[in-house]
Amino acid sequence: MTARTIRNTEDDDLFEQSLELLGRVLGESLSYYRKARELDPLVERSDSLVAVIDGRVVGHVQVLPREMRVGRAILRVAGLSCLAVDPAEHGKGHVRALIEAALRHVMRGGYHLAMVFAADGGPYGEFGWETLPVDTYVARLDESGEVGSAPPGVRRMDPVDDLAWVAAVHGGYGSECSGPLVRSLGWWSGNMKWMRENPESSFVLERNGRIVGYARARYPVAEHGGGAVDFYSISDLAAQDEDGEKALLAAMVQDAKSRGFRHLAGQAPVAHRAVALLEAIGITARVKSDTRLKVKLVDLKSLLEGLWPEFTAALWQSSSGGSESVGIRVGRQTAELGYRDRTVYVGEAGTPLIDVSEAELWALVMEGAVPRGAPGKGAGVLKTLFREREFAFWRADVF
């Protein structure tokens, strides 16, 4: 047997073979996967990697370029998607070879971190991927009252005329949290075209002629861990204030019930707040943890450099001054983070070092949770620069 090679899909034949493999292994049609690539402005054939034996594609993985907000900072994220291997080729090391090749591709690409959505116990654990739990909420709609009229100011979204407003609302909300992926107008345009051919309900909230909130839902969706039950799944929900969030949630509940759904689920705006808002309109909901999101550090020093805008804003809003620094070690990677004369810097680590696990690193980056084992001085530096934020990863960003 000819040795396996890993190639990208810039070659037309390999590209067509990869689509056929995805359709055969993961389901959906060739046109589905072709259109998904055409409508995503950031997807390139060079980011699709295939395992090839004797000219035949036997495995595939996609690297998706994405950007994630952490307050004022934007991190470069490599999303791994569509990992598939020909069933006749199972047990021959193709999965491992594809993941290793994807990580090399990511490291060459200057990304800060990598992400994948995968069930626990899969192949990613041995490569050092950490689970980043995402809180989600679920509710039973058949236990509430009758469907009422739409809340004042809420109407159906126009995917053309409302697009710029909706993108602006999303961007403004995202800058207050960690986790939301950056969405360009190109992404929004392609996503709207995609969703026109798939079941979706979309609403906007208007006040004084301005759109100040929006919400989107997909259906039917088989909720993770929900068995065979179909859910009305809220993929996006953002508004300028709590009253706006409550109005949009009420509109989604009414829409779901009118379509005959008995179950509702979502992650937006943030699970614990959504539960309180749902209870305020008579819907009992509960929070549960979705553990499919896995993350992996690519380069510690560049990650900290990417967070510089957030660090600078945090430092200027604090009372800290003088010169302080802390050395951080995550696995085999080290870096020094500090400030002097109100200026943040990232450099090569000196000693002593604070040992931080990857799980602790992501809690620090995403939520401002300082590791418990950090010594007093080092903990003070981390507390000054890493502000407490809510982690808000939304279902519309799942790849």
Q: Does a cis peptide bond (omega within 30 degrees of 0) precede residue 65?
A: no
Report which secondary-structure segment, H or E, holds 47: none
Mean pLDDT in residue range 364-375: 92
Which residues are CB-neighbours of 347 under 8 A, at least 6 positions away? Answer: 335, 336, 338
Instruction: Report the CATH number at residue 11.
Output: 3.40.630.30
Q: Is residue 214 domain-shared with residue 173, that is, in the same domain?
A: yes
Cβ neighbours around 109 below 10 Å, total: 14
Last residue of a domain, one of 131, 159, 190: 131
Rounded CA-CA distance 193/198 in Å is 9
Q: Are residues 340 and 379 in the same domain?
A: yes
Give the pLDDT band of residue 175 (cuts 50, 70, 90): confident
75 and 147 part of one domain: no
Which residue in 137, 188, 221, 157 sits closest to 392, CA to CA? 137
Provide, rounded to the nearest whole percent, the portion of the chain with pLDDT above 70: 95
By percentage, how much of the chain surpasses pLDDT 90?
Answer: 66
Judgement on whether residues 81 and 97 belong to the same structural domain of the protein = yes
Question: pLDDT for 182-201, tens place per residue?
Answer: 998 888 888 888 777 777 89
- Do the domain assignments include residue 378? yes
Three-class secondary structure of residue 19 per DSSP: helix
| Count of domains forming the chain | 3
Q: Are residues 238 and 354 in the same domain?
A: no
Domain span including residue 367: 299-385
Same-domain pairing of 172 and 270: yes
Q: Which two tokens stand for residue 328?
A: 């951080």
Do 214 and 96 lie in one domain? The reply is: no
pLDDT for 42 equals: 86
Q: What is the DSSP letter of 121?
A: T
Q: Is position 68 within any domain? A: yes
Q: Is the domain of 14 the same as that of 40?
A: yes
Residue 145 lies in a domain: yes
When pLDDT is averaged across residues 82-86 and rounded to a whole number, the result is: 96
397 belongs to a structural domain = no
- Let me know whether 27 and 47 are in one domain: yes
Residue pLDDT, tens place only, 93-128:
999 999 999 999 999 999 999 999 998 888 888 888
Asked, for residue 393, whether it belongs to a domain, the answer is: no
Nearest by Cα to 368 from 321, 317, 310, 324: 310
Residue 218: band (very low, low, confident or very high) from pLDDT cuts 50, 70, 90: confident
Q: How confident is the model at residue 142 (pLDDT cuts 50, 70, 90)?
A: confident
Region of poorest pLDDT, from 179-183, 191-195, 216-220, 257-261 = 191-195
Whole-angstrom distance, CA of residue 387 vs CA of residue 377: 17
Each as own residue / partner, the long-range contacts of residues 359-367 (CB below 8 Å, 24 or more positions apart, any chain) are: 359/130, 359/131, 361/297, 361/330, 362/130, 362/132, 362/295, 365/70, 365/178, 365/303, 365/307, 366/70, 366/132, 366/178, 366/179, 366/391, 367/178, 367/391
